[in-house]
Amino acid sequence: MDRIALLKTFVAAANEGSFTKAAEKLDTSNQLVSKYVAQLEKHLDARLFNRTTRRIHLTEAGRQCLQHANHILESINDMEGQLGLFNAQAKGVLHVSAPVSFSTLHLAGALGAFQNAHPHVSINLQLNDRKVDVVDEGFDVAIRAGHLASSTLVAKKITTVKLALCASPAYLEKYGMPSHPAELKPDHYLEYTYVNYDNDQSELIRALKANAQKYTPRLTANNGEVLLNVAKQGEGYVLQPTFIAGGALKRGELVSVLEAFVPEPVSLYAVYPHRKLVSNKLRVFIDFLSEYFEDIPYWDR
């Protein structure tokens, strides 16, 4: 006896309220629907329907059975779909939102390698440093750094992001090397517009927040590379991720200061809507990025 076939027939009959309509939906005979329902009732030793000449009505046992049957059939569909993804070729258009500087400096190389590995996946990349609404704006996935608020979105870690407080050698020669956040000159801060350290209680962040309430930063911008370039000219200090500042630090154009006070590293995530099944194109994309960047990314090695 195929119990799955019995459950499918029972669910169709329950949803249609008629053996005849269930038979039409399943493209089978009225007699076979009646037979399968009777077999299920016999197997469960419970009456599932009260029958009249025109309609059928679920009994209390039938209502409970319908809940379990829907859950079982849904789980089977999910299993079949998920396992089928491993044999299916990744293809289609993937709509991606990502931060501007990370994309121009690092994601571009990863995308080229990804499309060499998966030539049937097309990428529609939209760059924006603001926090996009993944669902309402129609993205399959968004790349985000930092502490994520709880939501209905799923977040998969791609890599680790370190932060650095930087200033140029010329700036430090003129104003001195600070040994504590209290020694920072508040009006020399080069502030990134979209930064959000609400959950960070480090001494450096507390000092920056306190200064921001009293002083206007020398420069506020919504692009980290611009702020970094201004800092290289000796115009102030900037707090930036090392995927932006790493090159300048290695070349000696900037110097890392107050390292003991810099916030702990955060994570870079791939964030996508919570669904029962993740499309194959999205699954291979996230897996590829995780392998490409690794937990300690190349710019920090």
| 189 or 132: which leads in pLDDT | 189
- What pLDDT does residue 276 have? 53
Q: Is the pLDDT of residue 95 over 70?
A: yes
Assess contact for 220 and 189: CB atoms under 8 A: no
The string of pLDDT tens digits covering residues 140-151 is 999 998 777 656
Where residue 176 falls (left for φ over 0; alpha for ψ -120 to 50; beta otherwise) is left
Domain ranges of the chain: 3-85, 92-160+266-300, 163-261
- Is 3.90.850.10 the CATH classification of the domain at 163-261? no
Among 119-123, 127-131, 163-167, 213-217, name the one with the lowest average pLDDT. 213-217
- Tallying the residues shown for the chain, one arrives at 301
**Amino acid residing at 36:** Y
Query: What local confidence, expressed as pLDDT, does residue 119 receive?
Result: 92
CB half-sphere exposure, 253, CA atoms < 13 A: 13
Q: What's 135's DSSP letter?
A: T
Tokens representing 133 are 């609404």
Q: Running DSSP on this structure, what letter comes out for residue 45? A: T
| Superfamily per CATH, domain 92-160+266-300 | Periplasmic binding protein-like II (3.40.190.10)
- Identical fold, 3-85 and 163-261: no
pLDDT confidence of residue 280 = 84
Both tokens assigned to 219:
């420069």
Please give the span between the terminal C-alpha atoms of the chain, in angstroms, as a whole number. 61
Binned at pLDDT 50, 70 and 90, residue 98 comes out as very high
Q: What is the pTM of this model?
A: 0.68
Closest among 212, 256, 254 to 229, alpha carbons compared: 254
H/E run at residue 126: strand 121-127
pLDDT tens digits for 243-254?
999 999 999 999
- Overall fold of domain 3-85: Arc Repressor Mutant, subunit A (1.10.10)
What is the Rg, in whole angstroms, of the alpha carbon atoms belonging to the chain?
29
Residue 297's pLDDT band, with cuts at 50, 70 and 90, is very high
CA–CA distance, 280 with 286 (Å, rounded to integer): 10
- Pseudo-torsion of CA 255, 258, 260, 266, nearest 10°? -70
Rounded distance between C-alpha atoms, residue 17 and residue 106, angstroms: 58
H helices of the chain, in order, are 3-16, 19-26, 30-44, 60-85, 100-102, 108-117, 169-175, 203-214, 224-232, 242-251, 280-293
Host H or E run for residue 150? none
Q: Does the pLDDT of residue 227 top 80, yes or no? A: yes
Neighbours of 141 (CB within 10 A): 26
Task: Classify each residue of 56-93 as buried b or exposed e, where b means 16 or more C-beta atoms within 10 Å of its C-beta.
Answer: bebeeebeebbeebeeeeeeeeeeeeeeebeeeebeee
Contact 9, 1 (CB under 8 A): no
